[in-house]
């Protein structure tokens, strides 16, 4: 008899997600079976729910009935070379080619996994993985900063922003956060030195000379931010397709525009993320946790303004 598991499926006509019984995956060579305990919601998931990202949805549909979810924390159910059955693991799958992770059981490449160390919980792991890796990609890859430098984080209370604030502060920079007024205290607790609430303050001001501007919601551009960058400052957007003109200009100036396109990860990157979490440099930022039966509400929560960090979905209780 075919083994089954629970997975989030979408009703495109109703633009809703619901939980259904689906066939459990059978791992192929190089893959491990993982029982997902907690996953997270991403903007792409919310867009997939309503058939956005059409090109990607088509690719995801080749994967199975579950078409949302990119990260997870759970328990390995089979042995690999590094990972053993029963290990607590955390993972981030290939954005285009990987399986989607909003399911009770998934088959994942072992290279996308790392052992989740104590005392981190499944919720911690799921909340940290994709956006923590993004912050590392920006601040240890594209533009490390130092004590005499300043960083502007646009969208500081969201998933990307919460971890960029923490890591930039850890590197010693002065951190200026742009978020809603209601999240002022919360982002200061993460490490922001100054908050510019977007309701009543200009995020970009005369006299700014930021070494790094991180545009998490990808609502700004290199051209808009350039007058507010230091001579060798960098503007980084989470959506490299939104500002092609900016990248062309930046190729000829001392100020730079950063390309961020994190399609996949490695055990080394996951290891680095977990080291930073264990050292309390990156603390899990969890807005809310929903049971899988209320996944549609979790998607709605993600799309609501004013959240604080990550929205999680729990598949095992």
Considering only residues 184 through 213, tell me which ones interact with ligand NAP, judged by CB under 6 A: 198
Using rule CB under 6 A, residue 132 touches ligand NAP = no
Listed ranges 13-21, 39-47, 97-105, 113-121: which one lies at the site for ligand NAP (CB under 6 A): 39-47
Using rule CB under 6 A, residue 39 touches ligand NAP = no
> Could you give the CA distance from residue 317 to residue 37 in angstroms, rounded to a whole number?
8
Using rule CB under 6 A, residue 178 touches ligand NAP = yes
Task: Tell me whether residue 154 or residue 277 sits nearer to ligand NAP (CB atom).
Answer: 154
Using rule CB under 6 A, residue 139 touches ligand NAP = no
How far is Cα of residue 92 from the mean position of the Cα atoms in its chain? Answer: 10
Task: Tell me whether residue 292 or residue 311 sits nearer to ligand NAP (CB atom).
Answer: 311
Q: Supply the minimum distance, in Å, between the C-beta of residue 20 and ligand NAP.
A: 25
Q: Of the candidates 188, 219, 272, 301, which one interacts with ligand NAP according to CB under 6 A?
A: 219
Using rule CB under 6 A, residue 250 touches ligand NAP = no
Listed ranges 1-9, 31-39, 115-123, 177-185: which one lies at the site for ligand NAP (CB under 6 A): 177-185
How many C-beta atoms surround the C-beta of residue 74 within 10 A? 29
> Could you give the CA distance from residue 211 to residue 80 in angstroms, rounded to a whole number?
43
How far is Cα of residue 3 from the mean position of the Cα atoms in its chain? Answer: 31
Site string for ligand NAP, 85-114 (x = CB under 6 A): ------------------------------
Q: Of the candidates 74, 307, 312, 314, which one interacts with ligand NAP according to CB under 6 A?
A: 307
Binding residues (CB under 6 A) for ligand NAP: these are 42-44, 131, 134, 154-155, 157-161, 178-180, 198, 216-217, 219, 238, 260-262, 305-307
């Amino acid at each position: 008899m075919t083994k089954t598991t629970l997975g989030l499926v979408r009703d495109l006509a109703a633009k809703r997600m619901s939980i259904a019984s689906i066939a459990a995956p059978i791992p192929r060579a190089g893959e491990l079976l993982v029982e997902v305990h907690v996953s997270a919601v991403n903007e792409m998931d919310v867009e997939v729910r309503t058939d956005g990202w059409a090109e990607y949805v088509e690719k995801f549909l080749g994967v199975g009935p579950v078409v949302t979810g990119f990260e997870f924390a759970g328990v390995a159910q089979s042995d690999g070379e590094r990972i053993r059955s029963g290990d607590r693991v955390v993972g981030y799958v290939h954005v285009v080619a990987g399986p989607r992770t909003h399911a009770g059981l998934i088959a994942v490449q072992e290279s996308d996994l790392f052992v989740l160390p104590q005392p981190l919980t499944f919720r911690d792991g799921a909340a940290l993985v994709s956006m923590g890796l993004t912050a590392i990609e920006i601040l240890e890859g594209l533009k490390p900063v130092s004590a005499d430098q300043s960083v502007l984080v646009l969208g500081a209370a969201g998933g990307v922003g919460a971890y960029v604030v923490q890591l930039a502060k850890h590197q010693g920079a002065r951190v200026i956060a742009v978020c809603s007024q209601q999240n002022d205290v919360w982002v200061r607790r993460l490490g922001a030195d100054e908050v510019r609430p977007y309701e009543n303050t200009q995020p970009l001001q005369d006299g700014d000379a930021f070494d790094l501007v991180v545009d998490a919601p990808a609502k700004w551009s290199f051209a808009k931010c350039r007058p507010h960058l230091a001579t060798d400052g960098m503007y980084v957007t989470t959506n490299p397709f939104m500002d092609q003109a900016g990248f062309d200009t930046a190729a000829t100036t001392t100020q730079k525009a950063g390309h961020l396109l994190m399609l996949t990860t490695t055990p080394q990157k996951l290891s680095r993320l977990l080291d930073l979490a264990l050292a309390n440099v990156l603390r899990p930022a969890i807005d809310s946790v929903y049971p899988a039966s209320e996944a549609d509400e979790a998607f709605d929560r993600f799309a609501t303004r004013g959240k604080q960090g990550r929205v999680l979905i729990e598949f095992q209780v």
